Structure 1
Amino acid sequence: MDILSLFLGICAFLGALAFMRLTRLNQRMDALERKINELSAQIKNAKQREISELSTGTVIGQIPPSESLIPKPAPVAIKPSISSVTSKVPLTVRMKSEITVHPAMPDSVEVAFSWLKENWAGFLGVAILVLGITFGTVYLSFFASPFVRFLILIGIGLGLLGAGHYIRNKSFGKELSAWLRSASGAIVLFTVLASSFIEALHFYHSPQIGLELLIAGLAYNIVLAYFASKEVFASFHVLISLIALVMVPKELTVLFTAITVAIAGVGLSTRHPWNSNLLVSFIGYSIFHILWLKGQHAIAPVALYGVIGTSLVGACALLVHYHKIYQELPQNQSLFSHSAIWLLLGFQLALYNLGFAYLFIPLGGATIACFILSSYAKKHNIEWLYICDALVGQILAIMTILSLTRVNLNHEMIAWIAFIESLCFTTLTYWLRQNLLSKIGLAFMLGAFLILSFMLIGIEDNPAQVCIISLASLLPLYIVRNLILNREQSEQVALDTFAGVFPLAIDAFYYIMALLMLIIGLSAYLWGYSALVVGFIAMSVNKRLMAREYHKMFYLLFATLAVVYTWYKVPLIDNKITAVIYYGIPPIILLLWLLKEKIFTLEDQSLEDMWVYLVGFHVGIVSTILAFSYSPFIPGALFLIYGLLFFEFGMWLYSYALNKRCCFIAIACKNMAFLYLIGYTLLYLLLYIQSESSLFSYLSLPQALTIMACALSLYWYFSKPIVSEPYPQIQWRISVKALPVSQAVPFDIAFIFILCLLISTFSAPIHPLGYGMLGLALSVPNLRKYLPNRALVYAVCLLMAVCVQVAIVSSKWASPLSDWYQNTHITGPISMVLALGVASLLLRKPEQVENKILKLFYKEPVLVGFLPIFTALGLFLMWRFDKAYLTMLWVVEVAIVVAVGFYLRSKMLVHIALLFLVFCVCRLMIYDLAQTTLIIKAFVFIVVGLLMIFIHIVYKKYASRLS
Structure 2
Amino acid sequence: MTEALLLIALLLLLAGWILQTLSLERRLRRLERHRASLSQRFFALSLWSEALEKRLAGEPWPGQSGIAPAEESASEPAALAPAPPPARASDVAVAPTHAPVPVAPLRPARGAARPWKRIERLLVENWSGLLGVLVVVAGVTFVAINSGLRLEARERFLVTLLVGGLLALPSLLWGRRERWRDLTDGLRSGGGALVLFACAAAGGLPQLGLQWVEVPAQALALLAGGVAVNLGLAAIARTATSASLHVAVSLVPLAIAPQGGPALAIATAIALVGSELPLRHRWQRHRLVVSWVYGLFQVVWFLANGPTLAVSGALATGASLAAVLVFGLGLLRLHRPGATPPRLQALPVALMLSLWGGLGLALLLYPREAAARATALALSAAGALLLGRNARRRGPRWLALGDALAGQILVLAALLSLAPLIADGPLLAGVLLLECLLFLGLAVREDAGPLRRIGWWLSVAASLLLAITGLVAALLSRDPGAQLQAGAVLTGGAALTAGMQVLLQRRGVPLPVPPLLGWLAGGLIAVGTGLVVPQDWRSPLSLAVMGAFLVAARRWRPPGLLLGVSIAIAATHGFGWLALLAQAPWPAMVLLARLLPLGLLALLLMLSAGGSRQQCLGLALLGIDGGLGALWWLEPISPLLPGVAWLLLAAGSLAVTHRLRGAAVRAGLVLSLAYLAGFGVAYLLVIGPSQELVTLGALQLRGRWLVELLAIAVCLHGWFFRAGADLARLRIWQLVQPCFLEGALLGVGLTLQGEISAPWRPVAWSLLALVLVCPPLVRLFAIRLQIYGVVAYWLSVLALMHTLGGGLSPFPPLSGAAQAAGVVAIALQTAFVVASHRWLDLERLAQPGGWPVLVWIGARVAKRRNLWLYYPLFVAVALVLASGYDRALLTLLWTGEAFAIYLLGVVLREPQFRLVALVGLGACLLRMLVIDMAQADLGLRGLVFIGVGLLLLALNAIVRRLRSRFS
| Same fold by TM-score greater than 0.5 | yes
Q: 1:301 Cα shift?
A: 4.9
Matches of 2:589 and 2:917 in 1, distance apart? 75
Q: CA distance change for structure 1 residues 256 and 959 in 2, over 3 Å: closer, same or farther?
A: closer
What is the match of residue 826 of structure 2? 829
Per-residue deviation, 1:533? 0.4
Q: 8 Å contact 2:518–2:559 — kept in the other structure?
A: no
Aligned to 1:875: 879
Q: Hey, what does 1:916 align to over in structure 2?
A: 920
What is the 5 A alignment of 1:456-467?
A: 456-467=473-484
Determine the structure 2 residue equivalent to 1:809: 803
The whole-number CA distance in structure 1 between the counterparts of 2:681 and 2:293 is 82
Question: For the Cα contact (< 8 Å) 1:546–1:599, is it kept in 2?
Answer: no
1:52 maps to which residue? none
Measure, in 1, the Cα distance between the counterparts of 2:579 and 2:861: 56
In structure 1, how many angstroms separate the alpha carbons of the residues matched to 2:943 and 2:301?
135
Change in CA separation of 1:611 and 1:904 when aligned onto 2, cut-off 3 Å? farther
Alignment deviations for residues 414-464 of structure 1 (CA, whole Å, 9 cap, x no partner):
444445445555666687432863586367437634651453234231243
Q: Which residue of 1 aligns with 2:715?
A: 713
Q: How does 1:81-230 map onto structure 2 within 5 Å?
A: none
What SS does the aligned partner of 1:699 have?
strand
Answer whether contact 1:363 1:397 (CA < 8 A) is retained.
Answer: yes
Q: Percentage identity across aligned positions?
A: 19
Q: Does 1:855 align with 2:847?
A: no
Secondary structure in structure 1 of the residue aligned to 2:449: coil
CA contact (8 A) 1:709 1:750 kept: yes
Secondary structure at 1:715's aligned position in 2? Answer: helix
Q: Do the aligned residues in 2 keep the contact of 1:459 with 1:466 (CA within 8 Å)?
A: no
Q: Give the Cα separation in 2 of the matches to 1:463 and 1:750.
A: 53
* Corresponding letter in the other structure for 1:680: F
Equivalent position of 1:322 in the other structure: 335
1:779 maps to which of 773, 784, 788: 773
Which deviates further from its counterpart, 465-474 or 404-413? 404-413
| Alpha-carbon contact 2:612-2:663 (below 8 Å) kept | no
One-letter amino acid matched to 2:911:
K
SS class of match (2:789): helix
1:951 and 2:955 equivalent?
Answer: yes
1:684 partner amino acid = Y
SS in 2 for 1:473: helix
| RMSD (Å), alpha carbons | 5.2
Instruction: Name 1:576's counterpart in structure 2.
Output: 587
Q: Residue 764 and residue 547 in structure 1: after superposition, are their counterparts in 2 closer, same or farther (change >3 A)?
A: same
| Residue 450 to residue 933, structure 1, CA distance change in 2 (3 Å) | same
Helix, strand or coil: the match of 1:695? strand
| Aligned with residue 740 of structure 1, among 727, 734, 745 | 734
User: What are the Cα deviations for residues 491-532 of structure 1, in whole angstroms up to 9, with x where unaligned?
Assistant: 7x94xxxx522x44323332333232334333433x441122
Match for residue 928 of structure 1 among 925, 929, 932: 932
Q: Secondary structure at the match of 1:557?
A: helix
Is the aligned partner of 1:560 residue 2:559?
no
Q: Provide the C-alpha distance between the structure 2 equivalents of 1:488 and 1:945, rounded to a whole number of angstroms.
A: 105
Match of 2:626 in 1: 619
CA deviation profile, 1:172-202 (whole Å, cap 9, x unmatched): xxxxxxxxxxxxxxxxxxxxxxxxxxxxxxx
Shift of 1:924: 3.4
CA contact (8 A) 1:322 1:377 kept: yes
Any conservation in 2 of the 1:763–1:822 contact (CA below 8 Å)? no
> Following the alignment from structure 1 to structure 2, what is the Cα–Cα distance between the partners of residues 589 and 559?
11
2:788 corresponds to? 794
Query: Which residue pairs with 1:693 in the alignment?
Result: 693
Name the structure 1 match of 2:520.
Answer: 509
Distance 1:307 1:926 in 2: 118
* Greater C-alpha radius of gyration: 1
Change (3 A) 1:283 1:75: same
**Distance apart, 1:886 and its partner CA:** 1.3
Task: Give the Cα–Cα distance (whole angstroms) in 1 for the partners of residues 641 and 59 of structure 2.
Answer: 119
Report the 3-state secondary structure (helix = DSSP H, G, I; strand = E; otherwise coil) of the residue aligned with 2:780: coil
Shift of 1:760: 1.9
**Contact preservation (8 Å) 1:523, 1:529:** no
Q: Which amino acid aligns with 2:826?
A: P
Matched, 1:397 2:411: yes
State whether residues 637 and 705 of structure 1, in contact with CA within 8 Å, keep that contact through their aligned partners in structure 2.
yes
Match of 2:560 among 550, 568, 571: 550
Contact 1:466 / 1:520 at 8 angstroms: preserved in 2?
no
Change (3 A) 1:428 1:929: farther
Distance 1:958 1:842, change over 3 A: farther
Query: Structure 2 CA distance, aligned partners of 1:864 and 1:712?
Result: 33
Stretches of structure 2 that go unaligned for 5 or more consecutive residues are 1-55, 61-116, 134-227
Matched, 1:530 2:537: no
Match of 2:3 in 1: none
1:188-222 CA-to-partner distances (Å, cap 9, x unmatched) read xxxxxxxxxxxxxxxxxxxxxxxxxxxxxx9xx9x
Match of 1:181 in 2: none
Does the CA contact (< 8 Å) of 1:772 and 1:798 recur in 2? yes
Cα pair distance change 1:265/1:906, threshold 3 Å: closer
CA contact (8 A) 1:884 1:932 kept: no
Is the counterpart of residue 455 in structure 1 residue 469 in structure 2?
A: no
Helix, strand or coil for the counterpart of 2:624? helix
**Cα deviation per residue 1:82-132 (whole Å; 9 max; x = unaligned)?**
xxxxxxxxxxxxxxxxxxx999x99xxx9xx99xx9xxxxxxxxxxxxxxx
Please list the CA deviations of residues 582-633 of structure 1 after superposition, one character each: whole Å capped at 9, or x if unmatched.
222212222332233234435xxxx544433332221121111111012112
Q: Does 1:332 align with 2:346?
A: yes
- Does structure 2 retain, via aligned residues, the 8 Å contact 1:416–1:469? no
Q: Does 1:641 align with 2:638?
A: no
Unaligned runs of 5+ in 1: 1-72, 78-100, 118-217, 654-660
- Cα 1:273–1:712 shift into 2, 3 Å: same
Amino acid at match of 2:914: V
Note if contact 2:651-2:718 (Cα within 8 Å) is conserved in structure 1. no
Q: Distance in 2 between matches of 1:781 and 1:251?
A: 105
Instruction: Please give the alpha-carbon distance, in whole angstroms, between the structure 2 residues aligned to 1:739 and 1:929.
Output: 68
TM-score when normalising by structure 1: 0.63
d(CA) in 1 for partners of 2:799, 2:419:
82
Tell me which residue corresponds to 2:531.
520
1:530-558 per-position Cα deviation (integer Å, ceiling 9, x unaligned):
12202222222225666356322222222
| Cα distance in 1 for residues equivalent to 2:285 and 2:912 | 110
The residue that corresponds to 1:55 in the other structure is none
Query: Do the aligned partners of 2:666 and 2:727 also contact (CA within 8 Å) in 1?
Result: no
Contact 2:531 2:575 in 1 (8 A): no
Structure 2 CA distance for aligned equivalents of residues 541 and 444 of structure 1: 26
Aligned residue for 1:63?
Answer: none
Report the secondary structure of 2:504's partner residue: coil
Inter-CA distance 406–534: structure 2 relative to 1 (3 Å threshold): closer
1:464-498 superposed Cα distances (whole Å, 9 cap, x missing partner): 3233223223323323333333336897x94xxxx
Mapped partners of 2:646, 2:899: distance in 1: 55
> 2: distance between equivalents of 1:785 and 1:483?
65
> Partner residue of 2:868?
864
Determine helix, strand or coil for the equivalent of 1:461.
coil
Question: How far is 1:663 from its partner?
Answer: 6.8
1:771–1:801 Cα contact (<8 Å) kept: yes
For 1:676, the aligned partner's letter is Y
Give the match for residue 681 of structure 2: 682
Distance 2:940 2:457 in 1: 107
1:724 alignment partner, SS class = helix
The answer to whether the Cα contact below 8 Å between 2:377 and 2:410 also exists between their aligned partners in 1 is yes
Measure the CA separation in 2 of the matches of 1:925 and 1:253: 125
Counterparts of 1:291 and 1:940, CA distance in 2: 115
Superposed CA offset, 1:659-699 (max 9, x none): xx547655654554444344334323322233142434352
Q: Report the AA paired with residue 814 of structure 1.
A: P
- Report how far residue 638 of structure 1 moved: 2.0
Residue identity matched to 1:737: R
* Separation in structure 2 between the aligned mates of residue 918 and residue 287 of structure 1, nearest angstrom: 107
Q: Distance in 1 between matches of 2:296 and 2:639?
A: 82
Distance in 1 of aligned mates of 2:483 and 2:865: 75
SS at match of 2:478: coil
